[in-house]
Amino acid sequence: MEKSAETSLCICPKFEKAFMILGKKWSGLIIEVLLTGDRRFKEIAAEIPDVSDRVLVERLKELEEKGIVIRTERTEGLVKVMYGLSQKGKDLEVVMKEIQNWSDKWITVET
């Protein structure tokens, strides 16, 4: 079935951009971990054991640049870098719950 110019679907550029951010490997899992609270780098890495440190650094920087993740340095005693979600990131909680609901219904985990 051929699509004519009149019937072709135009995907919203904002929707497309959102999927480019959230669809990047590991980004969704990082957000899911941070929805439970601020974490240190090693704590995030421990909760997502298959991600390499290099890729985790890249994804955290990308999410920070997009305003989804906030990186803060706490200087009481030893310097401690923490990662958390901005309000923009926290607003993804509803989306993440809906993805979980969908995956519970439709996705099987093969072992």
Q: How confident is the model at residue 105 (pLDDT cuts 50, 70, 90)?
A: very high
Confidence at 5, pLDDT banded by 50, 70, 90: low
Q: What is the pLDDT of residues 23-64, one digit of tens each?
A: 999 999 999 999 999 999 999 999 999 999 999 999 999 999
Q: Which amino acid is at 85?
A: L
Q: Closest by alpha carbon to 51, among 80, 83, 29, 36?
A: 29
- Tell me how many helices (H) and strands (E) the chain has: 6, 2
Q: Which CATH architecture has domain 19-105?
A: Orthogonal Bundle (1.10)
Q: What is the pLDDT of residue 6?
A: 59
Average pLDDT across the chain, whole number: 92
Distance CA 51, CA 40 (A): 15
Structural domain boundaries in the chain: 19-105
Mean pLDDT of 102-108: 95
